[in-house]
């Protein structure tokens, strides 16, 4: 953090840390708080580090926080989001997993709901700008539907094909 501090500030990068920081030294926690404060209004890239973080734990912590503050009230998706470690953090658009692993490993489970996922065998220390740009170009070609069917015409066409092939489609 000390090494990259000036570059983060110069490039208007917003810095955040999520997770349970109680297991790292107080001096490091102070550096984190300071850098988060200095970059909180930055509108460039958002750089978030996860220490002692687990997506399931974040969801459980958010629900418990809400229940303590709102006994007897039913929780909504918005309530849950507002009780996450950093509630203003938006959903993830793209997760790049390096090192050949093909899983999300309990990372930002809620925030990854509609993310594009990209898995590369390149190890993190070797991951660089050329591969990053190549990934962005590939991902921008993907159609993002956020859980919706592309268009009603596609559904009608699928029904016609199914009837032609002796399948039955209906509404329930």
CB distance 115 to 142 below 8 Å:
no
- d(CA 16, CA 35) in angstroms, rounded, equals 8
User: What predicted TM-score, i.e. pTM, was given to this entire model?
Assistant: 0.71
SS3 readout for 54-121: CHHHHHHHHHHHHHHHCCCCCCCHHHHHHCCCCCCCCCCCEEEECCCCCCCCCCCCCCCCCCEEEECC
Per-residue model confidence (pLDDT) at position 51: 87
Quick one: pLDDT at residue 40?
93
The predicted pLDDT at position 172 comes to 37
> Residue 89: what pLDDT?
79
Domain map (residue ranges) of the chain: 1-53
- Tell me what pLDDT residue 2 has: 86
What is the model's pLDDT at position 137? 94
CB-CB contact of 115 with 87 (8 Å): no
What's the pLDDT at 49? 86
List Cβ neighbours of 172 (8 Å cut-off, separation of 6 or more). none
Q: In which residue ranges of the chain is pLDDT below 70?
A: 147-172
Question: What is the separation of C-alpha 99 from the centre of its chain, rounded to a whole number of angstroms?
Answer: 19
Indicate the helix (H) or strand (E) that contains 36.
Answer: helix 26-39
d(CA 154, CA 169): 14
DSSP lists the bridge partners of residue 78 as none
- Output the pLDDT for position 150: 55
The helix (run of H) or strand (run of E) holding residue 53 is: none
Note the pLDDT of residue 168.
40
pLDDT of residue 156: 59
- What's the alpha-carbon Rg for the chain, to the nearest Å? 21
């Amino acid at each position: 953090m000390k090494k990259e501090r000036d570059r983060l500030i110069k490039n208007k990068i917003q810095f955040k840390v999520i997770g349970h920081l109680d297991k790292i030294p107080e001096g490091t926690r102070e550096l984190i708080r300071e850098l988060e404060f200095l970059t909180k209004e930055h509108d460039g890239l958002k750089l978030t580090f996860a220490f002692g973080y687990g997506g399931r734990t974040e969801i459980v912590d958010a629900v418990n926080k809400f229940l303590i503050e709102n006994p007897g009230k039913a929780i909504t998706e918005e309530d849950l989001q507002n009780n996450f470690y950093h509630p203003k953090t938006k959903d993830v658009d793209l997760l790049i997993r390096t090192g050949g692993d093909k899983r999300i490993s309990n990372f930002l489970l809620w925030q990854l709901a509609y993310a594009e996922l990209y898995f590369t065998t390149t190890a993190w220390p070797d991951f660089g700008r050329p591969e990053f740009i190549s990934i962005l170009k590939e991902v921008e070609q993907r159609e993002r539907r956020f859980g919706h069917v592309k268009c009603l015409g596609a559904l009608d066409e699928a029904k016609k094909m199914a009837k032609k092939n002796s399948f039955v489609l209906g509404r329930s």
